[in-house]
Amino acid sequence: MKVHVSVLPKPSVLDPQGAAAAEAIRHLGLQGVGRVRIGKLIELELPDATPEAEIHRIARDLLSNPVIEDYSIARP
């Protein structure tokens, strides 16, 4: 099965890339753009029987750093 792990900087962490992208969106003419945050999407191919807890362990201990990032898991 495929699993998508999304990793985003925590709201309390400075995200200068996101701020720069928000500014560029304003330059494109869209006013009213709110906060933009830039993270990463990681696609994993895992055995179908992989326990949910195991996916969370990989996402928490390797794919994200809980000090600065939050993650979420989705199945595309």
Partner 1 sequence: MKFAVLRFPGSNCDQDCVLALNALPGASADFVWHKDTSLASFDAVVVPGGFSYGDYLRCGAIARFSPIMQSVKNFAAAGGTVLGICNGFQILCESGLLPGALVRNKGLHFVCKHQHLRVESTNSRFTNSATKGQVLNIPIAHGEGCYFADDATLAKLNANDQILVRYCDATGAVTDAANPNGSRENIAGICNETRNVFGLMPHPERACDPALGSTDGLVILQSLLTAEPAKAS
Residues of this chain that interact with partner 1 (CB under 8 A) are 9, 12-14, 16-17, 20, 62-63, 65, 67-68
d(CA 48, CA 24): 41
Least CB distance to partner 1 at residue 25 (A): 17
Q: Which is nearer to partner 1, 45 or 49 (CB)?
A: 45
Contact (Cβ atoms closer than 8 angstroms) between residue 9 and residue 15: yes
Q: How far is the CB of 68 from partner 1 (least distance, A)?
A: 5
First to last CA, the chain: 9
Residue 73 corresponds to which tokens in the numbers above?
Answer: 């898991």
Query: CB 48 → partner 1: shortest distance, Å?
Result: 25
